Amino acid sequence: MKKKLVAMLLCVTMTVALALAGCGSKSADSEKDGKADLPKFRIGAIPDQDTAELQKGNDAVAAYLSDYLGFDVEFVPTVDYASLVEGFQRGDIQLAWFGGLTYVQTRNIVSDCTPLIQRPVDQSFQSVFIKNTELAGNVNSISDLKGKTFTFGSESSTSGHLMPRYFIEQEGLNVNRDIKGGPNYSGSHDTTIQLVQSGSFETGALNITVWNKAIKEGTVDTSKVEVFYTTPEYYDYVWTANVDEYLDDIYGAGTKDKIAEAFMKMNEDYSSDENAKTALDFYQTDKWINAPEPSAYDNLESVAKKLNLLEVTN
């Protein structure tokens, strides 16, 4: 798979290079920016929350990386989780913000991808289970979900589906049999909050950082929705770089290391650079850290296999 991917990407790169050669010289924009005539470096992120906020936050990441790395970086939104995995596999995305599940799904397809950067919270991540206080006031534990309506987030979400489903089944409940009407999939964490708050569903589960952000910004009515269970910790989100040979052949040797350096420099520039501040604020962290070895996600992969969720789904 690795050889096929690299060959395909190099073919695309040669085509781009020939097209650029035909232009005879660098464009005025490239001369002005001091950027090399290289294919745009594209980053992506799972669409797990409000699309406008996702765009703003990742445009800031792209702008910061572009200034630091010296070539054009662009954020490319995707319609769903599977589209990001597929775009990464094709080489359309060079750096992706995956959840833990989409990362292990991806590494089963692109074995040489590299978990690169994440937030401290991603090494001890949690999900929260929430309830509509009027409709499900008697729900105080996972076992109380039996006979209640319930919504997950996206089917490919780690914190909005995989791990909540795992903890539900650890309590002896069968999601398809014991949840009233079967589980729903909202598509994103903020939508899960809205569905429970409106009473469309009595209960649900989502990413703890999105919940905390909603509390902080006052976008959730805590008289109508509250947390009744917080899960144990697990590994989750991670910026993942595509295969080394691809990045080095197109953007220069050591590109992956330079990307990591850029994220670390972003930490230092929080107070002085607007893009650094916007990016870190969006990701609700005060710093980036180096990701662990891929083996740190082996337990998560085992859970995905057990629940038959390793295959990429929309």
Task: List, for residues 66-87, the tens digit of each pLDDT value.
Answer: 999 999 999 999 999 999 999 9
Other CB atoms within 10 A of residue 245 CB: 16
According to the model, what pLDDT value does residue 18 have? Answer: 33
Domain with CATH 3.40.190.10 in the chain: 2-121+236-306, 126-230
**What is the 8-class DSSP label of residue 161?**
I
According to the model, what pLDDT value does residue 313 have? Answer: 67
According to the model, what pLDDT value does residue 176 have? Answer: 94
- For 49, 82, 173, 188, 210, the CA distances from 79, given in Å and listed in that order, are 12, 8, 32, 11, 19
Q: Which fold has domain 2-121+236-306?
A: D-Maltodextrin-Binding Protein; domain 2 (3.40.190)
Confidence of residue 3 (pLDDT cuts 50, 70, 90): very low
Whether the per-residue pLDDT at 115 is higher than 60: the answer is yes
What is the β-pairing status of strands 95-98 and 289-290?
Answer: unpaired
Tell me the three-class secondary structure of 192-208, residue by residue: HHHHHHHCCCCEEEEEH
Distance CA 118, CA 289 (A): 6
Could you read off the pLDDT of 188-227 as tens digits, one per residue?
999 999 999 999 999 999 999 999 999 999 999 999 999 9
- For 67, 128, 261, 270, 280, the CA distances from 55, given in Å and listed in that order, are 18, 25, 23, 19, 14
Distant-in-sequence, close-in-space partners of 88: CB < 8 Å, separation ≥ 6: 44, 96, 106, 110, 113, 240, 242
Give the mean model confidence (pLDDT) for residues 44-65.
96
Confidence of residue 99 (pLDDT cuts 50, 70, 90): very high
Q: Looking at the domain that runs over 126-230, which CATH code has it been given?
A: 3.40.190.10
**What is the 8-class DSSP label of residue 40?**
P
Q: Contact at 8 Å (CB) between 184 and 201?
A: yes
